[in-house]
Homo-oligomer: A and B are copies of this chain.
Amino acid sequence: MRFGLFGGARTSTGEQPSDSQQIHEFIDYVLEAEDLGFESVFLVEHHFTGFGQISAALNLLSYLAARTRRMRLGTAVTVLPWHNPALLVEQAATVDVVSGGRLDLGIGRGYRHTEFAGFCMSMDEAEARYQECLAFIRAAWTSPGRFSHHGTYWHYDNVVIEPAPLQRPHPPLWIGANSEASIVKTARDGMNLLIAQHGTPEAVGTKIAAFRHAVEAAGRTYDPFSAGVTRALHVAHTAAERDRQHELRIRFMRNVQDLSLPPSGPVAGNHFQGHGDAENMRRMTETDALIGTPEEIVARLKVYEAAGVRHMLLMDVGGSLEALRIFGREILPEFREPV
């Protein structure tokens, strides 16, 4: 199994350092992760949170391209409805070029009510805007020479998008997909799969098997690294610390829920349907998150490994270098693959 960071998360709890300090601490965290053997980092893109989640992910990745040596540099996810498609493709390709071809471009529709409200955009447009931007991305990266695009939201005439990315035909596109139908479509479209933070190891295993089957049915070789699973990581050596980490995780989930659900409740078709009540959130942290001692976490990861997971993205909400080092020294070596 190989490991990456799912990153830029930040809690709203307690005293906040400055935005600059927080970003520089996160950079140090990513660099330490690379030294410890983490092989990818996937940055979120979020807006208007008031607690400093990463907003300009492709800019931070451009910086990290110079500071890292071999890590894959990803987004999870770039929210297509917010972006001018041409500028987005130029930015992504620039990251790919300066990083020597290390960009993994995760894309999505957006799911947070507060973001759509901030941009004064209806969530009902998310799917159509996503599809239109994705069509533009494909045209930009596969058209020989100039092309035009006339959609519902964007118009371009006779354009060529530069620079060309280094990876050909283009950087891998990663999609968050949950239902079997959308997982199969992701595979058929030649895209990689992001599996979000929730669901039992068995449920994750079923999704990965469906993805693998669909990739092979399409006549391609399945790359086990092409399916990334995100899980919360909280190292806790004592019962008291375990309780505190569960609380921290639940507080984070509640926070995301508050940012995401419209006042009227969950929206049909939106991938975020809420976490339910406190008891349900507690149950989810028990089944989904990696909370415990290093030995317990190794045991949980072995279950994921047996379920077919080969690329695990860790979301360390606590975000301490100490927890990262424990993971790198005591947990990661248990999964080191022969080169």
Chain A interface residues toward B at CB < 8 A: 18-20, 22-24, 27, 47-50, 52-53, 55-56, 58-60, 62-67, 82-84, 86-87, 90-91, 93-95, 97-98, 117-120, 146, 155-164, 166
Contact = CB atoms under 8 A, between A and B. Distances in A.
Nearest to A118: B159
A82 B20 CA distance: 27
Given A62-B62, A157-B117, A157-B120, A90 B56 contact: yes
Copy tally for this chain in the complex stands at 2
B118 A60 contact: no
23 contacts: A19-B97, A19-B162, A19-B163, A23-B98, A47-B86, A47-B159, A48-B160, A48-B162, A50-B146, A50-B160, A50-B162, A52-B162, A53-B162, A56-B87, A56-B93, A58-B59, A59-B91, A62-B62, A64-B66, A82-B84, A84-B84, A86-B119, A118-B158
A166 B20 CA distance: 6
A6 to B, nearest CB: 19
A156 B94 contact: no
Contacts of A60: 62, 94, 98
Given A19-B164, A66-B66, A164-B20, A59 B159 contact: no
A221 to B, nearest CB: 27
The 5 closest A-B pairs by CB, nearest first: A66-B66, A19-B163, A62-B62, A120-B155, A55-B90
Given A24-B97, A62-B63, 5 more contacts: A48-B161, A50-B162, A52-B163, A55-B90, A56-B93
Interface centre among A18, A48, A62, A166 (most CB of B within 10 A): A62
Contacts of A118: 86, 156-159
A19 B56 CA distance: 23
A173 B156 CA distance: 29
B47 A163 contact: no
Contact of A97 (B20, B49, B91, B120): B20
A156 B63 contact: no
Contacts of A82: 84, 87
A55 B20 contact: no
